[in-house]
Structure 1
Amino acid sequence: MSINERLKTIIEEQYNGNKRAFSMAIGVTPTVIENVVGSRQGKPSFDVLEKICANANISPDWLLMNRGKMLYTSPQDSSVTTKSQAASANLSPDMLTELLNRITEQAAEIGRLKEQIRQMNLEKGKPASDAYTSGDANVG
């Protein structure tokens, strides 16, 4: 199964075939997803793959190498399987651990950025009546 087919599987099984919902959930434009799963069949960028793993609870092992289960399990559970998977994929356990750590760190950063965006949207949505005013008029 190609990575394009695995992405189609995610969309079908987790988002009822709704590409737009999937793209919004992972934080990319619908065009990006269409370019990967549509007739063009382009390969997703590393950034897109990171977003999928971080925001759609998808196992990086499954997404990148078609190994293990589609849905992400805790790092303790995945570390048990990654050593055997690494041997069959010609990747060292250290390389996989490094990749998983990097993805985890970036997922945490994405979470922090999402919270910042949420806070900014809350601030942006406040009515003008909530704005601070000193009561002094500054007329030229």
Structure 2
Amino acid sequence: MATQNWQAEEAATFISELCELPQYALTFQRNLSIRSLLDLRSRGALTKGLCRAGIFDLGHQRRINAELGSLEAGMPPEVLDGSMQLLRSSSSGFLASIAAQTLLSSQHKRQAMKLPAISRSISVVSDPTINVGSPPRSLTANHLLV
């Protein structure tokens, strides 16, 4: 159980500091661990797992996947399998966060997120004789209003 607690804290630090998505820190701390994220990713079910945890934004899911892959490539196997604790102290959250951020940033390269292009040349062509503002009345409405 202690291993799961510090893994949950690391998952919260991972999402808020490395992925720059602090709005999901509590969700990660309650529902996910670094190990569970890696298991989901290795099985190709990371997107489904993130959706079940309440993270539906595709851009956020891609960011988490990219950062997780980079983290996995740069961390020793002992940290990833849970046998070595990354955070020094679970009681001092701020200091633990700083210690984790220092270790993670020394062995982890942050990837720039590519934003989708915004298209501003959308045009709608419609028949000018059609009244778009009001829907046609039903037969019942016509009888009641007469």
TM above 0.5, one fold?
Answer: no
TM-score using structure 1 length? 0.29
Structure with bigger helix share is 1
Higher relative contact order (CA 8 A, sep 6+): 2
Which structure has the bigger radius of gyration?
2
Q: TM-score with structure 2 length normalisation?
A: 0.29
